[in-house]
Structure 1
Amino acid sequence: MPFYLFKGRYTTDSIKSLVAHPEDREAAAGKMIEALGGKLHHLFFCFGEEDVIALIEAPDDETMAAGALIVGASGAMAGGATVKLMTSKEAMAAMKKAGQATGAYRPVGA
């Protein structure tokens, strides 16, 4: 199954709620991802622009989009992004494919 990196920012109300009543968001996220047929490998709280980062394995892009829609519709997040990840083996296949088609591309101004 493909891997995805989810990056998210909680709303101010969500952060207030977590401070007043701490809860295990990894368990909540894992349950939702499993219901969609995926697996949550890690959920990290972090400093910086994002509040949480999660490493998720899911059957396909449609499944990840469904998860993003669930989270977005909940109103708990102020924003976020999902990044599709590739294994080294998948990246090597892409490199080989690019090498085969390189001559078909004309750069800007060439």
Structure 2
Amino acid sequence: MPKYLIQATYTAEGTKGLLKEGASGRRAAVEQVVSGLGGTVEAMYFAFGEHDFVCIIDFPDPVSMAAVSLTVKASGALHTQATPLLTLEEIDEAARRQVAFRAPGK
């Protein structure tokens, strides 16, 4: 299953909701959304700094990830960034593939 790193930052409205329902309430909401599309939450951590929380999730396909991303962003409660994650084996496979490429000016 494709794996994604999600980094999120709450808006003022989203932070008020977090304060009201707590971190465990948000974890339950994330797990419900992800599992509803056939995915799983591998890890979820709250942080401080540029991002308020990060999580690693698995989805059956990229369309499921896109559907969640669009819905969450439309809520206005947080800003998110989803980064596809690749295994070591996938990078090894990519490194073995021949790619015809000419650099600019060469």
- Report the TM-score when normalising by structure 1: 0.87
Where does the alignment leave 5 or more consecutive residues of structure 1 unmatched?
Answer: none
Residue 63 of structure 1: aligned partner? 64
> What residue in structure 1 maps to residue 92 of structure 2?
92
Give the direction of change, closer, same or farther, for the CA distance of 1:2–1:21 in structure 2 (3 Å limit). closer
Larger Rg: 1
Which amino acid counterpart does residue 103 of structure 2 have in structure 1? P
1:83 lines up with 2:79 in the alignment: no
Post-superposition offset of 1:16:
2.5
Offset at residue 73 of structure 1 (A): 2.3
How far residue 57 of structure 1 moved from its aligned partner, in angstroms, is 0.5
Of the three residues 69, 87, 107, the one matched with 2:103 is 107
TM-score, normalised via structure 2 length: 0.90
Distance 2:77 2:19 in 1: 14
Q: CA deviation at 1:18?
A: 2.4
**1:54 CA drift (Å):** 0.9
Give 1:22's aligned residue. Answer: 22
How many angstroms apart in 1 are the aligned matches of 2:23 and 2:54? 16
Runs of at least 4 residues off by over 2 Å? 16-23
Alpha-carbon distance, 1:52 to partner: 1.0
Corresponding position of 1:54: 55
| Distance verdict in 2 for CA 1:21–1:2, change over 3 Å | closer
Superposition RMSD on alpha carbons, in Å? 1.4
Alignment coverage as a number of residue pairs: 105
The answer for unaligned runs of 5 or more in structure 2 is none
SS at match of 1:56: strand
